[in-house]
């Protein structure tokens, strides 16, 4: 289903927000069936700490792949190949391959991935660079500025 919203007028009058338009477009194209497997939680573990917990029952750690490339976290699982002829009377455990993508902000870094009791945990942290942190700007008066200038010239 295509989104009922047209963002093209907004994108014509903005510069540097092309990533936002891609996110909006991708969100409009998400299929509900694909979006629900495997189930996951996104937790805020502190002021600058986050954790993604994904239920990957039936997968071994070596069948999972966690990759970060260009602000996109990709978690993929490769299903085991069925050995021999198995006839299921009921198959309720999904063991299909998957790939889940998470868009990360520029300041979010993946610091750890762990596997415990069928759950994959991916820990993230916000690292704010010094250039983006708020800084106090000293307000100078004309008298203070001229005194500072005289002091610099005398030195």
User: Degrees (nearest 5) of the Cα angle 23, 69, 63?
Assistant: 105
Return the pLDDT at 41.
93
- Burial group, residue 97, by CB count within 10 angstroms (0-12, 13-18, 19+): exposed
Q: Is the pLDDT of residue 80 over 50?
A: yes
Q: In angstroms, rounded to a whole number, what is the distance separating the alpha carbons of residues 74 and 42?
A: 14
Q: Nearest 5°: CA angle at 122, between 120 and 128? A: 175
Over residues 90-95, the mean pLDDT reads 78
pLDDT tier, 125 (very low <50, low <70, confident <90, very high otherwise): very high
pLDDT at 109 over 70: yes
Q: Which burial class, exposed, middle or buried, applies to 94 when counting CB atoms under 10 A from its CB (0-12, 13-18, 19+)?
A: exposed
- For the chain, the structural domain boundaries read 1-30, 37-129
User: What span, in angstroms and rounded, lies between the C-alpha atoms of 30 and 87?
Assistant: 33
**Percentage of the chain with pLDDT > 90?**
35
User: What is the reported pTM?
Assistant: 0.66
Q: Are strands 108-116 and 119-126 parallel, antiparallel or unpaired?
A: antiparallel
The matching CATH number, chosen from 2.40.50.140, 2.60.40.790, 3.40.190.10, 2.40.30.10, for 37-129 is: 2.60.40.790
Which of 71-75, 95-99, 128-132, 144-148 shows the lowest per-residue confidence on average (mean pLDDT)? Answer: 144-148
For residue 130, give the DSSP letter: G
**pLDDT over 50 (residue 1):** no
Q: What is the mean pLDDT of residues 91-96?
A: 78
């Amino acid at each position: 289903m295509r989104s009922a919203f047209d963002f093209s007028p907004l994108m014509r009058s903005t510069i540097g927000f092309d990533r936002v338009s891609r996110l909006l477009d991708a969100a409009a194209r998400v299929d509900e069936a694909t979006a629900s497997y495997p189930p996951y939680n996104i937790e805020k573990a502190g002021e600058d700490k986050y954790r993604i917990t994904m239920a990957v029952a039936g997968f071994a750690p070596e069948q999972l792949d966690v990759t970060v490339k260009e602000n996109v976290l990709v978690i993929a699982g490769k299903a085991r190949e069925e050995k021999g002829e198995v006839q299921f009377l009921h198959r309720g455990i999904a063991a299909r391959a998957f790939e889940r993508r998470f868009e990360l902000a520029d300041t979010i870094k993946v610091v750890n991935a762990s596997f415990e009791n069928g759950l994959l945990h991916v820990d993230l942290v916000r690292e704010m660079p010094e250039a983006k942190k708020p800084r106090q700007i000293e307000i100078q008066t004309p008298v203070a500025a001229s005194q500072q200038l005289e002091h610099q010239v005398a030195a």
